[in-house]
Amino acid sequence: MLRITLPVCALLALALSACANTGASSSEKSSHTYAFGKPRATNSVASVVAQTAPAGRGPENVATLVYFDFDSDALRPSDRSVVEAHAQWLRQHPERAVVLRGHTDARGGSEYNLALGQRRAQTVKQTLQILGVDAKQLEAVSYGKEQLADVGSNEAAHQRNRRVEFDYR
């Protein structure tokens, strides 16, 4: 497990170091979409900024992550707008495809977490299909607890790990 998480952490640190201040004005900065925004009343998790799709790989200024509650595969109402934005973009770009990568936190067994990650990815896939995206553009896969975004053991870390990532091809 440490062999997998250490390179992932190194890549994450490298990616974050590339986010240096470009001197953008505050009006430019406010146009970005965030996965969590302000902490929700029902959730004490600190705010987290979601990655947005690189230019040309998906919708611009739209979060590429949606998050889930503990042991749940239900899409949060607050994340529905993120999925709707991806659906709109995919309908406008039928030649493009996306892999939906389901993840869980580190708690629980590997087999259970692989199944939960798959259910989360399937939930997003089904929602995109309901919103009019062709099933041929969508692939749902699970990584379970094998690719943690945060190796911490507190609730904030667990929350960041319970996610589905949009990976455009």
* Averaged pLDDT for residues 103-118: 96
**Can you give the pLDDT at residue 29?**
34
Buried b (16+ CB within 10 A) or exposed e, 25-56: eeeeeeeebebbeeeeeeeebeebebebbeee
Q: Which two tokens stand for residue 159?
A: 């929350």
- In a domain, residue 61? The reply is yes
Q: How far lies 47's CA from each of 29, 40, 129, in Å?
A: 16, 9, 29
- In a domain, residue 125? The reply is yes
Percent of the chain with pLDDT over 70: 67
Q: Is the pLDDT of residue 10 over 80?
A: no
- In a domain, residue 50? The reply is yes
44 or 10: whose pLDDT is higher?
A: 10
**Can you give the pLDDT at residue 56?**
55
CATH number for the domain harbouring residue 57: 3.30.1330.60
Model confidence pLDDT, tens digit, residues 47-95: 344 445 454 588 888 999 999 999 999 999 999 999 999 999 999 999 9
Q: Is the pLDDT of residue 8 over 90?
A: no
Residues 6+ apart with CB under 8 A from 75: 66, 68, 83, 123, 124, 127
Our count of domains for the chain comes to 1
**Can you give the pLDDT at residue 169?**
87
- In a domain, residue 38? The reply is no
- In a domain, residue 96? The reply is yes
Q: Write out the residue range of the structural domain in which residue 67 sits.
A: 45-168
Whether the CA torsion 64, 155, 18, 10 is positive or negative: it is negative
* Averaged pLDDT for residues 88-110: 96
Average pLDDT, the chain: 78
Query: Band of the pLDDT at 2, cuts 50, 70, 90?
Result: very low
Q: What is the SS3 assignment for 73?
A: coil
46 or 166: whose pLDDT is higher?
A: 166
- In a domain, residue 110? The reply is yes
**Can you give the pLDDT at residue 97?**
97
- In a domain, residue 3? The reply is no
4 or 156: whose pLDDT is higher?
A: 156
- In a domain, residue 25? The reply is no
Q: What is the SS3 assignment for 162?
A: coil
